[in-house]
């Protein structure tokens, strides 16, 4: 996940500790995490006895606080973009959030990330504001989006 994220300039960039914390044991103080991944199997390796090897194509990370979800990060490998992978990830996440009685999803996205912004609008997200200078590297404003189910 870290390697894929580093190759995606528009993604939210997290530390190794932040990624490790996603998989740490959950306690009552931590919000519920939701992680989706899309992998492509390496068929040559799968034919060997040493097991399957998979290449990560995309991932999505979100967390829940009560009935609200924050979409924290969605990353799609460059070679998998414009093939519906991000759409599938977002659709699955929305289905899961609804199934868990979520009523709102919010997120922030780089102002320059027009592809992601178009995807969010396609699913009914509404722009609700901006955070000046939110992203440090490279410096850029964040655009805030919200989707309300009910």
Question: Any idea which residue has 């102002």 for tokens?
Answer: 111
Write down the catalytic residue from 5, 19, 79, 108.
Answer: 108
Helix (H) or strand (E) holding 49: none
> Does 120 participate in catalysis according to the annotation?
yes
β-pairing, 53-65 vs 68-76, is antiparallel
> Does 108 participate in catalysis according to the annotation?
yes
Write down the catalytic residue from 19, 70, 79, 120.
Answer: 120
CA 75/CA 89 separation, integer angstroms: 10
Q: Are 94 and 148 in contact (CB under 8 A)?
A: no
Active site residues: 108, 120
């Amino acid at each position: 996940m870290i390697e894929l994220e580093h190759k995606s300039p528009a993604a939210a960039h997290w530390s190794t500790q932040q990624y490790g914390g996603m998989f740490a044991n959950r306690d009552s103080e931590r919000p519920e995490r939701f992680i989706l991944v899309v992998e492509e199997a390496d068929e040559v390796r799968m034919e060997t006895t040493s097991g399957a090897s998979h290449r990560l194509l995309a991932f999505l990370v979100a967390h829940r606080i009560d009935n609200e979800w924050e979409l924290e990060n969605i990353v799609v490998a460059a070679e998998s973009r414009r093939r519906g992978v991000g759409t599938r990830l977002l659709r699955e996440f929305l289905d899961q959030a609804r199934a868990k009685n979520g009523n709102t999803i919010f997120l922030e996205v780089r102002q320059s990330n027009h592809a992601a912004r178009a995807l969010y609008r396609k699913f009914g997200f509404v722009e609700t504001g901006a955070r000046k200078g939110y992203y440090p590297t490279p410096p850029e404003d964040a655009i805030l989006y919200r989707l309300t189910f009910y």
